[in-house]
Chains A and B, each alone.
Chain A
């Protein structure tokens, strides 16, 4: 009985083993099939690669080279354009600065001439001339001298940084100031040296105040403000403006003051006669 049982159990084991073997064979066959398919696939890919490598590849390289060249050409053009635009930008920036500078100068000149002709009061005109020389030119010590045509002497009528009495009467034709009053030619020192001491006869700048060719006085500048080391282009424009406009403003305000004075004298007489 036990032998019979033993045989059955061994047969069972054998059957299971056989089944495993059959499954394994089945798997091997499937794997074989898959690998065969893979081989065919790779062979086909290899064939196509060989076909495209012969002839077609050169064409592609040529086309790619062409494209590369075109791109490089475009890049060069763009770089060139960038350089041109950059240069134009710099040019515009410089022009903008120049215009800004000119605009500033013109505004200063406009304001100076506007102020000079804003009054007919002699004292106010002198005050405005002082303001322009201080605020626009940047002078610290200077004087406005007018010519007395009877005595042919220049006398200080307004000063800044120095008393009026410290500038003596100057005979026309004498020294730098007298020479400017005689010739009508402006005087500028070539180099502004550090201020040593005040000498009324030695200005650093002397501008003749002229109405046409007729000199009525001068502006003598002795010292600039410490933050103003030298004259600028605008200063020379202002000197030219002052030479003409300040002279006209002084002359007309003097005439106006005199006519006002005469008018009040005549009015006084009339009042006296009619009373």
Chain B
């Protein structure tokens, strides 16, 4: 690679909302224009585009970018379930680091249906668990949570604490879908979805769009004197393990790759975004990325270490649980929050003077880990 660092020059996002009925193109345009303005870049200077989405029709990428201008640039759709947008940013980063392009834009867009994420595809092609309805979406997280409780003595209250903090942070975030604050009791006593996961530990489908402008360090000099650098990134899919359970991506391995690439480690990280599609996710990920020993994620969260004023603030914007989850756009929301945190623009949610930020975005097998530095 010519340069292993690239710049996150601008970010944008719409307010996330539950089944707003907003037109996807209108949302993509709003987020895109916001990111361009934030970057100080004209659309004609964008050289390549990626559009992340999962439930939108064929041609969504070209249509979204056409809302901003028609300059003939190559546009590619990216799908990696809940981790689509951050994968789009990674693809842009590889191309910029290789010297192929200097300026890219990644849009994430999703208009979601109500309820649980639907099962798509021909019924005859469906795997047995889906055909039967054996694995509703919280099921995998719930089973991992049960195993964690069995192996390490983690308690329901630990998961509830992660949810309580997420809702409290989200109450400070005008872009979040849900801004109500709940007590531990309210969370534990909310409707059971898949034991031990209750309703208020779940992210809900939402509509929304996000956008990220990525550029080379050389190009960034024209626009800013204090660039937010993407200094390490790695993506992956599950690794076979004999007798192993259904696994999401290999978060631990990706963490090591990113720590090697960035020459930064957990001790250096000041603020973090992790994939909490369901609250136990925060606890698993803290362990996998080396922020606490295996099995101690529950007490680590319980003691308040992941609060905005804690040792390692996690999901300062409320995470998926409070922000809601427009699948294809979520990665861009994580990047936007980290960008605002590193630039001191996070308002009431601001972490004190952060310099290094880590991102973990995961979706049905695919996982991305990214390290940012100011």
Please say whether chains A and B are actual partners in one complex: no
B residues at A contact (CB < 8 Å): none
A residues at B contact (CB < 8 Å): none
